[in-house]
Amino acid sequence: MITIIRADGTAERCQLDAMRGRAAEKNADIELAVKAVMEDVRAEGLAAVERYSLQFDGQPPYELSQERLEKACAACPKQLIAALEHAARNIRDYNEKLLAKSMEWTSPDGGRVGRVVRGLTRVGIYVPGGTAAYPSSVLMNAVPAEVAGVEEIVMLTPPTENLSDAVLAAAKIAGVDRIIAVGGAQAVAAATYGAGLIPRVDKLVGPGNAYVAAAKRLAYGALDIDMVAGPSEVLVIADNTADSKFIAADLLSQAEHDKLASAVLLTDSMELAQAVDTEIIRQTSYLSRSEIIEASLKDFGCAIVCDSLSQCVELANEIAPEHLEIVTKSPRELLPLVKNAGAVFLGAYTPEPLGDYLAGPDHVLPTSGTARFFSPLSVDSFLKSMSVLEFSREALEPISQEIIALAQAEKLTAHANSIQVRFE
């Protein structure tokens, strides 16, 4: 089912080019429609949001009560609630260990310098509705914000007929302060500019459809966003010690997301590549999303057989995958060579779904090669810092002439004067 390619400098490049291009095309019609929504909401506020909500979702925005959340928790199986609480604890523990602190120190010139770290004031979390109801994503977006000390976390989700009890339960467990039933580009616009019951936020995070993604791109600058996520992807580096059954299962776990999802195996063993292909065919036969899997693997799934594991890592760094699994005899030995990846999973018993749900690190990761310069969502994503400076006369005077010299070199005489008047 997957194409097996022997790396020769050309064949694998063609496959990589196809992967890069799979999410590159933007729909001009979508961009145009979303721009109109954004402009209308900016000009008209809640009236425009209500109009678009009635048009696309059949009802105006409304806020959910705490009683509705309590009912959602009661309606969920106890095992699910326990799993959500376990995941939330691990995510919280991971982010608490990463939390940056405010600090100050004495500079070489005798003044006090440092920075104050603060959580953002208000953050919005977009949660898709319908079949794309993922309670794990609620935890992954909300818990780091809570750890950062964000004052208010507002969840926006489309007003579907049957809001997911699991999603609402996750919101309660994660510490979401308000849940407003509003979706689509109009929700993004409302969060960007503020509209009636929907407050303006400092940052908007969370996945959405093409209209939501386009709106987030347009909103960036008026607020901050996490990233505009592309299709999901996994890349596995494996040698001849790997179990083909495990590798196949992990590739399939990403392929089921979307027909544009990418699942790639890099190996130095042709025998493993062939065995994985056989396993993929066998396992796909009993999986519920086999049609999506087959389409994904046909277009964006492959096994590339390299001359060495070091060549595998070189290709992986070029691809910069969202998820990188290393399933080799000594996986940690390859970790120092890895430069670009959203998350790295080491060993046969660290499958990608572990990171999706329970381990603690966030599953909101850079896609489409952006791991070259973007990082995973974390508590850092919800923090900002302010520089702090405090100098006495005794600390400023010895360096005053140097500051004046620099200001005069830039022809900023008022800057120079600001120093001079203090020592006349």
Q: Active-site positions?
A: 322-323
Measured in whole angstroms, how far is the alpha carbon of residue 384 from the centre of its chain?
A: 18
Cβ neighbors of 136 (< 8 A, separation 6 or more) are: 87, 170, 356, 357, 363
The whole-angstrom separation of Cα 129 and Cα 127 is 7
Kindly report the length of the chain.
424
Tokens for 206? Answer: 């969370």
The answer to whether 91 and 362 are in contact (CB under 8 A) is yes
Q: Is 273 exposed, middle or buried (0-12, 13-18, 19+ CB in 10 A)?
A: buried
Residue closest to 288 by CA, chosen among 338, 260, 323, 253: 253
Give the distance from CA 192 to its chain's centroid. 19
Three-state SS for the chain is CCEEEECCCCHHHHHHHHHHHCCCCCCHHHHHHHHHHHHHHHHHCHHHHHHHHHHHHCCCCEECCHHHHHHHHHHCCHHHHHHHHHHHHHHHHHHHHHCCCCEEEECCCCCEEEEEEEECCEEEEECCCCCCCCHHHHHHHHHHHHHHCCCEEEEEECCCCCCCHHHHHHHHHHCCCEEEECCHHHHHHHHHHCECCECCCCEEECCCCHHHHHHHHHHECCEEECCCCCCCEEEEEECCCCCHHHHHHHHHHHHCCCCCCEEEEEECCHHHHHHHHHHHHHHHCCCCCHHHHHHHHHHHEEEEECCCHHHHHHHHHHHCCCEEEEECCCHHHHHHHCCCCCEEEECCCCCHHHHHHCCCCCCCCCCCCHHHCCCCCCHHHHEEEEEEEECCHHHHHHHHHHHHHHHHHCCCHHHHHHHHHHHC
Q: At 351, which amino acid appears? A: P
